[in-house]
């Protein structure tokens, strides 16, 4: 199997810089303006000051007073995202879009996969002016970590063994799915690198982290992962979810995340839906969903976000939250522009 992960560089900011070229080379952040506003993304210039995604905008202003703040324009990001994802599908038949600015591509069967990806990146730049980073590997985990390794404009090709060797000295936190709390618990066991983690006996990890998480940690450290793409089909629902680096206990913070997920979901929604649901996973892995069906189909972020917040308040998570998700379902009209090549079984 050969899988690529493509991720746009500083996506929201880069879209903004296309129409405000005078801001190029300056520290720029895209964030709302309210007291609870968080940074969605920062230009690489602003990142040098320690500004990063999900940071309260007020803190970003303290770290980098010169930063220029731009309010988010989700419609613009959605439009560029569509353009990028259409280009991906022009080049590769099997594509799994996992966010507005990232996707996995199945390169198996291509004669010259690396060259195909280079062409794709050049096409994206030509069509949108934007830069993307690519990672290529035998599974999604290797591809994802590789795409992040040399941002911006990175292009990193690794075998599984190559990934193990290259990142052996890195913190276990480099790997998606290993958050700061786990990193801390590993450090307490003297395991501070991915190399050490990969050599730890599974039983020892399972004793400390439980059967499932212990097994999962070892597999991730060894860069074993799935190469299965979830191909698009006639959607019965669309969702966005996020696993936090650090479990979130604060309700206001949970609500801010839920609002952002609702904004992102609605920005990419192809059709309005009548059922709005949330998914909550607690730090003990208890996972619940709560749904409500409303009278009128909607794709409005305020409506979806409002219902999502209601559902969260009604559920009132009793423990810190590990994952939050929002889903819209109950679409009336059939999906537009269904691509037969991507079609799985009819539902
Ligand atoms: P990312 O791909 O994580 O970040 P990025 O594209 O800005 O930068 P990088 O070059 O490191 O890939 O996220 C894509 C977009 O999603 C980002 O531009 C803004 C949005 N986003 C949020 O709104 N909140 C967040 O916490 C994160 C991480 C991203
Ligand atoms: Mg990105």
- β-pair type (28-31, 68-70): parallel
Burial class (CB in 10 A: 0-12, 13-18, 19+), 239: middle
Q: Which of 10, 11, 262, 268 to mutate to test the pocket of ligand 1 (most atoms within 8 A of CB)?
A: 11
Asked whether residue 208 falls in the same domain as residue 245, the answer is no
Do residues 247 and 300 both lie within one domain? Answer: yes
Residue 243 lies in a domain: yes
Q: What is the domain count for the chain?
A: 3
Assess whether 217 and 251 both reside in one domain.
Answer: no
| Structural domain contains residue 89 | no
User: Span 272-280, mean pLDDT?
Assistant: 94
Give yes or no for residue 347 having a pLDDT over 50: no
List, in sequence order, every beta strand (DSSP E) within 174-318: 237-248, 273-282, 287-298
Provide the 8-state DSSP code for 335.
P
Mean pLDDT of the chain: 92
CA angle (273, 278, 283) in 5-degree steps: 160
Q: Is the CB of 8 under 6 A from ligand 1?
A: yes
| Reported confidence tier of residue 346, pLDDT bands at 50, 70, 90 | very low
323 and 261 within one domain: yes
Please count the other Cβ atoms lying within 10 Å of the Cβ belonging to residue 68: 16
Residue 267 shares a structural domain with residue 190:
no
Answer yes or no: do 287 and 319 share one domain: yes
Is 327 found in the same domain as 260?
A: yes
CA 314 to chain centre: 27
CATH number, residue 70: 3.40.1170.60
pLDDT at res. 37: 87
Highest mean pLDDT among 109-113, 223-227, 290-294, 326-330: 223-227
Q: Are residues 285 and 216 in the same domain?
A: no
Last residue of a domain, one of 23, 50, 74: 74
Q: How far apart are CA 172 and CA 191, in angstroms?
A: 8
Are residues 248 and 306 located together in one domain of the fold?
yes
Q: Which two tokens stand for residue 284?
A: 């003990």
Q: Summarize pLDDT for 237-255 with one digit per residue, the tens.
A: 889 999 898 899 999 999 9
Partners of 103 in the beta sheet? 6, 97
pLDDT tens per residue across span 207-216 = 999 999 999 9
How many whole angstroms from 225 Cα to the centroid of ligand 2?
Answer: 21
What pLDDT, on the 0 to 100 scale, is given for residue 232?
A: 62
Nearest atom in ligand 1 to the alpha carbon of residue 44 is: 10
Of the two residues 234 and 326, the one the predictor is more confident about is: 326
Please state, for a pLDDT cut of 90, what percent of the chain lies above it.
80
Q: Are 303 and 271 found together in one domain? A: yes
User: Atom 24 of ligand 1 has which residue's CA nearest to it?
Assistant: 40
Asked if residue 337 has pLDDT above 80, the reply is: no
116 belongs to a structural domain:
no
For residues 36 and 206, give the distance between their C-alpha atoms in angstroms, rounded to a whole number.
Answer: 39
- Burial (CB count within 10 angstroms: exposed 0-12, middle 13-18, buried 19+), residue 314: exposed
CB 260 near ligand 1, within 6 Å: yes
Q: Select from 196, 221, 246 the last residue of a domain.
A: 221
Q: Which tens digits make up the pLDDT trace of 46-62?
A: 999 999 999 999 999 99
Q: Which of 59, 56, 7, 16 is nearest to 36 (CA)?
A: 56
**Rounded Cα–Cα distance for residues 158 and 146 (Å):** 7
Q: Is residue 257 part of a domain?
A: yes
Are 314 and 244 found together in one domain?
A: yes
Cβ-contact 330, 273 below 8 angstroms? yes
Strand ranges (E), the chain:
3-8, 28-31, 39-42, 68-70, 95-99, 102-106, 132-137, 155-157, 237-248, 273-282, 287-298, 321-331
Residue 23 forms part of a structural domain? yes
Rg over alpha carbons for the chain, rounded to the nearest Å, is: 20
Asked if 243 and 206 sit in the same domain, the reply is no
**Structural domain containing residue 34:** 11-74
């Amino acid at each position: 199997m050969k899988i690529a992960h493509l991720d746009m560089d500083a996506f929201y900011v880069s879209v903004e810089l296309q129409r405000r070229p005078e801001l190029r080379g300056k520290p720029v952040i895209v964030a709302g303006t309210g007291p609870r506003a968080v940074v969605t993304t920062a230009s690489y210039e602003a990142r040098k000051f320690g500004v990063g995604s999900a940071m309260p905008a007020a803190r970003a202003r303290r770290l980098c007073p010169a930063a220029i703040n731009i309010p988010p324009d989700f419609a613009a990001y959605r439009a560029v995202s569509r353009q990028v994802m259409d280009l991906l599908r022009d080049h590769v038949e099997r594509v799994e879009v996992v966010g507005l600015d990232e996707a996995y591509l199945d390169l198996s069967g291509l004669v010259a996969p690396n060259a195909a990806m280079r062409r794709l990146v050049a096409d994206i730049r030509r069509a949108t002016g934007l830069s993307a980073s690519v990672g290529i590997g035998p599974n999604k985990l290797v591809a994802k970590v590789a795409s992040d390794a040399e941002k911006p404009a990175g292009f990193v090709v690794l075998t599984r063994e190559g990934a193990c060797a290259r990142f052996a000295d890195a913190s276990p936190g480099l790997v998606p799915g290993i958050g700061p709390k786990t990193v801390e618990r590993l450090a307490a066991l003297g395991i501070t690198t991915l190399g050490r983690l990969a050599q730890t006996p599974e039983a020892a990890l399972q004793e400390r982290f439980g059967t499932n998480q212990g097994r999962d940690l070892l597999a991730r450290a060894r860069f074993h992962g799935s190469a299965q793409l979830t191909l698009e089909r006639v959607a019965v629902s669309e969702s966005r979810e996020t696993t936090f680096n650090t479990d979130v206990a604060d309700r206001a913070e949970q609500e801010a995340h839920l609002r952002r997920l609702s904004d992102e979901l609605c920005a990419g929604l192809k059709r309005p839906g009548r059922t709005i649901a949330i998914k909550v996973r607690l730090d003990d892995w208890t996972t619940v969903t709560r749904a409500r069906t409303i009278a009128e189909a909607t794709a409005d972020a305020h409506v979806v976000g409002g219902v999502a917040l209601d559902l969260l308040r009604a559920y009132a998570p009793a423990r810190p939250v590990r994952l939050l998700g929002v889903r819209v379902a109950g679409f009336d009209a059939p999906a537009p522009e269904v691509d037969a090549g991507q079609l799985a079984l009819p539902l």
